[in-house]
Each structure stands twice: as C-alpha cells, then as structure tokens.
C-alpha cells in the first residue's frame, strides 16, 4: 500500500475523514514552505497537496496564481520542490501529492519522471492539464514505482467520463465541487454531493472534494458525503496576508486547527 492508501485505511478504522491542505512550494520561500508542511501536519493535515509553481495556470484562481508568481520570482522550479520533499522526509511521513501542470514535470525527463518522484518521497501526483485519455503511458510509469495517479472529476462529467477518470485513479479521486477555477467561496454547490454519489457508482477509492472549500462549515458539509476535504485558496490567502510576519507559520497552523474543529465535535 502507498502512504496515501495507508492513511485512508487508518482513517476508516478511526471513523474519521481526511483534511487535505494545499500550499504552493516556494511561497513565500522554500524554507518557510518546509516549516508550513510540518506545522500543517501537527495541525490536523492527513495528506498534503504541494503545488509546483507554473507561469500559465488554467485551473487556479487569482489567489493561487499570485502564489505561483511569488514562487517563480524566487526562482523555484520543480526540482526545488522535489528537494524540499526529500528534506521533509527526514522528519515526516505525511503523504504528499504533487499538484502540477504537465510542462514543469517534463523538465525532469519523461522516462525518468516516475523514478524522480518516487526517490524524492512523493506519494501521488495530480497533473491538472493531463486528461486520462492521454495519460496511459504516464499512468503505467507511475504504477511501476507505486506513485498514485489522481485525476479530476467535474459535475459536468458524463457517467462514461467519470468511469474513465475512476479507472485512471489510484490513491483517491478528486471531485471538483463546481465548474470553474479555484477560489474561496461563501457556500458550496449542491452539485458536489451529487457528484460524489455518481463517482461512488464506479469506484471504491476514497473521494476528496475541493475547489471553494474554505470554512469549518464547508468541511463538515463535505465530510458528510465524501472521504476528504481539500482546502487551498483559504490557506494560501492566509500565507499571503502574513508574509514577512515572524508568526506566519503559527498563524497558518491556527487557521487549520480552526478549519478542522468540526471533526473533533
């Protein structure tokens, strides 16, 4: 079993749901990113999504776009992200999903990509602009090194498309709560719960819901029907708000403890 599968199995045994925060590597800098990962783990994170900064994001809203811009100005590249995970592995076994677009990953060399991710300590990879129909070689390569492949299912997806996504996934399936880009929202769409029900018809894999999840109430709502909730923009906004503050890491940890508070009730 991969670290991701082991984590979900442990959570099921405890009758708990997963909290998956997202942060962008290199925002505000790589050293702080490392500190944030460890703090997020202490503050309730079960799995971590680590974003690779990219100059032309399609699925990211303005908050995460600006985080990528800051990281790119710091010169952060995909190998820097992998080296960061290598350092984290000296202190932590938290499952880490690399969240990226395909172009930065190709700089690692297509044939060596799986080995590079595995050797760095990456547990899963979500390539936003790689669709299952074009991912057969990629999936085979990841399976060979036991790196989970995670794809997106959207509310607009037909059943045949959802089945194809489910067949391409390992680790978990990422269900998008609504169409469009990432970002903080006041309320979640009813489409999210319906999408989870549809996805469950085609797989026994855990289902995570993201895009717009940003309050404790949102997490509680997601956990009613899904196995995991993903929070990205709300955490990235907190990092941006306190950039340069000596207590940045502690404040992000406090936010995450507040987000998961309904899980302790």
Given 39, 49, 123, 227, the catalytic residue: 49
**Which domain range does residue 249 map to?**
3-264
Average pLDDT for 143-168: 96
Angle CA 203–106–160, to nearest 5? 25
* Cβ count near 190 (within 10 Å): 11
The answer to whether 250 is a known catalytic residue is: no
Per-residue pLDDT, 56: 80
Average the pLDDT over each of 58-62, 105-109, 195-199 and give the range with the smallest value.
58-62
Report pLDDT for 189: 57
Given pLDDT bands bounded at 50, 70 and 90, which one contains residue 262?
confident
Concerning whether 60 is annotated as a catalytic residue, the answer is yes
Tell me whether residue 29 is exposed, middle or buried, using C-beta atoms within 10 angstroms of its C-beta: 0 to 12, 13 to 18, 19 or more: middle
Residue 36 CA to residue 20 CA, distance in Å, equals 13
Q: According to the model, what pLDDT value does residue 183 have?
A: 43
b vs e for 77-97, b when ≥16 Cβ sit within 10 Å of the residue's Cβ?
A: bbebbbebbeebeeebebbbb
Q: What does the pLDDT read at residue 1?
A: 86
Residue 45: strand, helix, or coil:
coil
CA gap 36, 30 in Å, rounded? 10
Question: Is 203's pLDDT higher than 80?
Answer: yes
Interval 109-133 mean pLDDT: 94
Q: Which of 60, 123, 148, 238 is catalytic?
A: 60
DSSP summary character for residue 162: H
pLDDT for 52-98, tens place per residue?
999 887 767 789 999 999 999 999 999 999 999 999 999 999 999 99
pLDDT at 116: 96
pLDDT at 60: 76
Within 10 A of 74 (CB to CB), how many other CB atoms are there?
15
The total number of structural domains that make up the chain: 1
CATH (domain of 126): 3.20.20.70
Instruction: Please determine, for residue 248, whether its predicted confidence score (pLDDT) is greater than 90.
Output: yes
Beta-strand relationship, 228-231 and 173-176: unpaired
pLDDT confidence of 191, banded at 50, 70, 90?
confident
| pLDDT number for residue 111 | 82
CA-based nearest residue to 202, from 132, 140, 144: 132
Model-level pTM? Answer: 0.94
Query: What pLDDT, on a 0 to 100 scale, did the predictor assign at position 234?
Result: 95
């Amino acid at each position: 079993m991969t670290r991701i599968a082991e984590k979900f199995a442990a959570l099921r045994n405890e009758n708990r749901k997963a909290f998956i925060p997202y942060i962008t590597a290199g925002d505000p800098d790589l050293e702080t990113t490392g500190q944030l990962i460890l703090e997020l783990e202490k503050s309730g994170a079960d799995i971590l999504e680590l974003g690779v900064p990219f100059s032309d994001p399609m699925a990211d809203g303005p908050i995460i776009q600006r985080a990528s811009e800051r990281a790119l100005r710091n010169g952060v590249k995909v190998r820097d992200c992998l080296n960061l995970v290598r350092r984290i592995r000296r202190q932590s076994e938290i499952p880490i999903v690399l969240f990226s677009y395909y172009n930065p990953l190709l700089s690692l060399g297509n044939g060596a990509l799986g080995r590079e991710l595995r050797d760095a300590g990456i547990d899963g990879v979500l390539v936003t602009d790689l669709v299952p129909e074009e991912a057969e070689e990629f999936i085979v390569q990841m399976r060979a090194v036991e790196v989970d492949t995670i794809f997106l299912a959207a509310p607009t997806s037909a059943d045949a498309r959802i089945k194809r996504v489910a067949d391409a996934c390992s680790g978990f399936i990422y269900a998008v709560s609504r169409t469009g880009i990432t970002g903080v929202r006041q309320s979640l769409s009813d489409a999210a719960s319906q999408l989870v029900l549809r996805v469950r018809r085609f797989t026994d894999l855990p289902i995570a819901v993201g895009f717009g999840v940003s309050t404790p109430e949102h997490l509680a709502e997601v956990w009613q029907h899904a196995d995991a909730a993903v929070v990205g923009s709300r955490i990235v906004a907190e990092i941006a708000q306190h950039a340069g503050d000596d207590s940045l890491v502690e404040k992000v940890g406090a936010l995450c403890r507040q987000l998961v508070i309904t899980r302790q009730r």
